[in-house]
Amino acid sequence: MTTVEVPHGSRSVVLRVAQVIAETTDASSLVFEVPEQAREKFAYQPGQFLTLRIPSDRTGSVARCYSLASSPFTDDLPKVTVKRTRDGYGSNWLCDNIKPGDQLEVLPPSGLFTPKNLDEDLLLCAAGSGITPVMSILKSALERGSARIVLFYANRDAESVIFATELRELAEKNPQRLVVVHWLEALQGLPTVAALAELLRPYTEYAAFLCGPKPFMDGVHDTLAQLGVPRNRTHAEVFNSLAGDPFADTAPVEISDEEAADAATVEVELDGETHNLSWPRKQTLVDIMLDKGLDVPYSCQEGECGSCACTVLEGKVEMANAEILDPEDIENGYILGCQARPVTDHLRIQF
Ligand SMILES: Cc1cc2nc3c(=O)[nH]c(=O)nc-3n(C[C@H](O)[C@H](O)[C@H](O)COP(=O)(O)OP(=O)(O)OC[C@H]3O[C@@H](n4cnc5c(N)ncnc54)[C@H](O)[C@@H]3O)c2cc1C
Does 249 map to a domain? no
Same domain, 231 and 292: no
The total of other beta-carbon atoms located within 10 Å of residue 143's CB is 14
Q: 39 pLDDT band (50/70/90 cuts)?
A: very high
- Please say which residue of 49, 83, 109 terminates a domain: 109
User: Is there an atom of ligand 1 within 6 Å of 91 CB?
Assistant: yes
pLDDT at 163: 98
- Residue 80 falls inside a structural domain: yes
Q: What is the CATH number of the domain that holds 195?
A: 3.40.50.80
Strand order in the sheet with 309-314: 273-279, 264-270, 346-350, 309-314, 334-336
* CA 93 – CA 107 distance, rounded (Å): 18
Q: Is 154 exposed, middle or buried (0-12, 13-18, 19+ CB in 10 A)?
A: buried
Name the residue with the closest Cα to ligand 1, atom 6: 66
Mean pLDDT within 160-176: 98
Residue of 41 and 6 predicted with greater confidence: 41
Between CA 309 and CA 82 the distance in angstroms is: 25
204 lines ligand 1 (CB under 6 A): no
Nearest CA to ligand 1 atom 45: 88
Judgement on whether residues 27 and 133 belong to the same structural domain of the protein: no
pLDDT at residue 172, as a whole number = 98
Please report the atom of ligand 1 found closest to the CA of residue 90. 25
Instruction: Say which CATH number the domain at 313 has.
Output: 3.10.20.30
- What residue's CA is closest to ligand 1, atom 27? 88
Examine the pLDDT at 7 and tell me if it is beyond 80: no
Q: Is 51 in the pocket of ligand 1 (CB under 6 A)?
A: no
Most confident range, picked from 1-15, 25-39, 224-238, 245-259: 25-39
Q: Does 216 lie in the same domain as 165?
A: yes
Query: Do residues 156 and 74 share a domain?
Result: no
Domain co-membership, 80 together with 17: yes
Burial status of residue 101 (CB atoms within 10 A of its CB: 0-12, 13-18, 19 or more): middle
Residues 127 and 231 in one domain: yes
Mean pLDDT computed over 187-206: 96
Per-residue pLDDT, 224: 96
Q: Is the CB of 221 under 6 A from ligand 1?
A: no
11 lines ligand 1 (CB under 6 A): no
The type of residue at 329 is D
Domain boundary among 84, 109, 134: 109
Question: Is the pLDDT assigned to residue 116 strictly greater than 80?
Answer: yes
pLDDT at 177 over 90: yes
Asked whether residue 233 is domain-assigned, the answer is yes
Q: Which domain holds residue 282?
A: 257-350
Dist. CA 331 → ligand 1 center (Å) = 29
Ligand 1 pocket, residue 57 CB under 6 Å: no
CA distance 49 to 44: 8
Judgement on whether residues 189 and 102 belong to the same structural domain of the protein: no
Flag whether 242 is in a domain. Answer: no
Q: Is 127 in the pocket of ligand 1 (CB under 6 A)?
A: no
Determine the distance separating the centroid of ligand 1 and the alpha carbon of 92, expressed in angstroms. Answer: 10
Closest CA to 18 of 106, 135, 105, 98: 98
pLDDT recorded at residue 306: 83
**Average pLDDT for 206-228:** 95
- Rounded to the nearest whole angstrom, what is the distance from the C-alpha of residue 110 to the centroid of ligand 1? 18
Q: Closest ligand 1 atom, CA of 92?
A: 26
- The verdict on 74 and 53 lying in the same domain is yes
Residue 252: predicted pLDDT = 76
Question: Within this chain, do residues 126 and 223 fall inside the same structural domain, yes or no?
Answer: yes
Among residues 109, 142, 162, which one ends one of the domains?
109
Region 137-164: what's the mean pLDDT?
97
Total structural domains within the chain: 3
Residue 6, pLDDT score: 67
pLDDT confidence of residue 5: 66
Ligand 1 pocket, residue 96 CB under 6 Å = no
Chain segment 281-339, per-residue pLDDT in tens: 999 999 999 999 898 988 888 898 888 999 999 999 999 999 888 887 888 899 999 99
Ligand 1 proximity of 85 Cβ (cutoff 6 Å) = yes
pLDDT at 307: 84
27 located within any domain = yes
Of 248 and 206, more confident: 206
Q: Does 98 lie in the same domain as 155?
A: no
pLDDT averaged over the chain?
94
Is residue 83 in contact with ligand 1, taking CB distance under 6 Å? yes
Q: Kindly state whether residues 86 and 156 are assigned to the same domain.
A: no
**Rounded average pLDDT over 60-72:** 96
Q: What is the pLDDT of residue 271?
A: 86
Across residues 254-262, what is the average pLDDT?
A: 90
User: Which ligand 1 atom is nearest residue 133's CA?
Assistant: 8
Residue closest to 76 by CA, chosen among 34, 112, 29: 34
